[in-house]
Structure 1
Amino acid sequence: MPLIGSLKTLLLRGLLAGLIAGLLAATVGYFIGEPQVDAAIAIEEAGSAAHAHAPDAAEGHSHGDDALVSRSGQKAGQFLALGLAGLAFGALFASAVNVARRFTSLSGTQLSLTTAGLAWTAIVAVPFFKYPANPPAVGDPETINERTWLWVAVVVLGLLAVAAAVAAYRALAGMETLRLIAGVAAFVVVTTVGYVLLPGVNEVADDFPATLLWNFRVASLAQTTTLWVSLGLAFAALTEFAARRSTAVVDKVPTAG
């Protein structure tokens, strides 16, 4: 089933799919991620309280009532934030699909799911295994700018690795097994070189609960995976719906007899 529609149509489709994906990701974050955040904040505030009661201690900070936005506001706000992020990702996704359809014979559904899978690999998987997400109470505030730029760098690495894999795969058209091996090898080589060159970051205290850290990272991965899986599936479903509607309209057009 071909990918039907102009760039404008695809962008509208991407915005709708992105909004759906963002809200679903926020739902996962609300029910799975937020309990881990609350537990991490409790540990952070307990440490701050103990430090504040120590002799000559500086005043600690809190995520509680003194915060600019309350925790309930933060929890509800993620639906707005991820909804807007989903819209942005949906527009970028539609633009990528619009370009990719000119270089492939994949159907609209296949192209949508493949693009979503490659985007997840580049933007989620590659960064996650180098710099996994950390909960509150983990990380030195003084290094936040450095860690932000390192995250940007590893996202760029993921995009380069996926681009190298796609290029290697397309270069060996007609040799299915060999092109798969070449694509995987190109991805692994680029990712490995990038991982080696980028510095490691480990600011997790030895006494931080390992179970909480693991649960938070799993929840973070589940949330971002939900975003991209939902985006790909929603875009594919909307594409199939548009194609079926177009076919139905054509079938209803009377032919000259």
Structure 2
Amino acid sequence: MNSVIVRALLVRGMLAGLAAGLLAFGLAYLIGESGVNAGIAYEDAHTHEHGMELVSRAAQSTVGLATGVLVFGTAVGGIAALAFCFSLGRIGQFGARGTAALLAAGAFVTVYLVPFLKYPANPPGSTDPDTIGKRTTLYFGMIALAVLIALGAVILGRRLAGRFGNWNATVAAVVAFIAVIAVALAFLPAVNETPKDFPATVLWQFRLAALGIQALLWASFGVIFGFLAERVLRPHAARSAQVAAAPGMPTAA
């Protein structure tokens, strides 16, 4: 894959991430802000320290939220596009859309779902502000570990494919991934800071909303980027086919 195509796919990946971010922002604004507001209300009711608010809550829930989600979507879209360039043709006989869908699903599982199972999202007021550094380190460490385990599972699947077939190799790789992840989840330190009187409904709804927002972002990215990538690669594939067939074409007498 030449640099021109890689550059075109990178740009389209960032655009697809931006579009997916817009959809995720809409869902976050609709279903996520209620949990944030409830957490802030709980926090205000249980603390006597009220610092000066540098940014209004209205700005945080609109401009601030949109900026964060769109920047995140654009950034991961570009990274995913580069991973797509590397993965195309190496993880099976899938076209652009199939590869994009598998890549988006894998990214959602490894980058968000697996870390979420150990360190789920929490609304304001449900954690200790003094441990934010520790919790951030553990969370990003879990992401890095999940990505490494996923890469190991892919390598295992490719090595087993020639001997046991693609289907059996895929099943074995998935089982190995789940087993190693289960061990990691069991032995990594837990973070249990939620106050006993924190509303369980607020906690559950906030976590469910966070999971849904990420699922929408990655699913929409997979669909949008798969469509855009196919439009980039189709002319290139047609030109390659013409070049390959040129020596065998009949010539006029």
> Common fold, TM-score beyond 0.5?
yes
Deviation at 1:61, TM superposition (A): 2.5
- The one-letter code of the counterpart of 2:60 is Q
TM-score (norm 2): 0.87
Which of 138, 141, 148 is residue 129 of structure 2 equivalent to? 141
Q: 1:28 aligns to what?
A: 27
Contact 2:8 2:232 in 1 (8 A): no
Contact 1:7 1:98 in 2 (8 A): yes
CA distance in 2, matches of 1:241, 1:7: 13
- The one-letter code of the counterpart of 1:61 is H
Local SS of the residue matching 1:221: helix
Contact 1:37 1:136 in 2 (8 A): yes
Contact 1:160 1:190 in 2 (8 A): no
Contact 2:96 2:230 in 1 (8 A): yes
Task: Say if 1:107 and 1:143 are closer, same or farther in 2 by CA, change over 3 A.
Answer: same
Which of 47, 50, 65 is residue 61 of structure 1 equivalent to? 50
Structure 2 residue runs of 5 or longer lacking an equivalent are: 241-248
Structure 1 residue runs of 5 or longer lacking an equivalent are: 53-59
Which of 66, 69, 72 is residue 82 of structure 1 equivalent to? 69
Contact 2:9 2:232 in 1 (8 A): no
Task: Please state if 1:100 is matched with 2:90.
Answer: no
Deviating more after overlay: 132-141 vs 167-176 = 167-176
CA distance in 2, matches of 1:161, 1:141: 31
Task: Please state if 1:166 is matched with 2:154.
Answer: yes
Aligned ranges 1:194-213 → 2 under 5 Å:
194-213=184-203
Deviation at 1:72, TM superposition (A): 0.8
Deviating more after overlay: 240-249 vs 74-83 = 240-249
Task: Please state if 1:45 is matched with 2:33.
Answer: no
Local SS of the residue matching 1:103: coil
Contact 1:161 1:186 in 2 (8 A): no
* RMSD of aligned residue pairs (Cα, Å): 2.6
- The one-letter code of the counterpart of 1:69 is V
CA distance in 2, matches of 1:27, 1:119: 21
Q: Deviations over 1:39-84 (max 9, x none)?
A: 1111111122xxx3xxxxxxx126xxx3111111011121122111
Q: 1:56 aligns to what?
A: none
Identity score, percent: 39
Q: 2:223 aligns to what?
A: 233
Q: Deviations over 1:190-209 (max 9, x none)?
A: 21222133101110111111
Q: Deviations over 1:198-253 (max 9, x none)?
A: 10111011111111100000011111111111111110121233356678999xxx
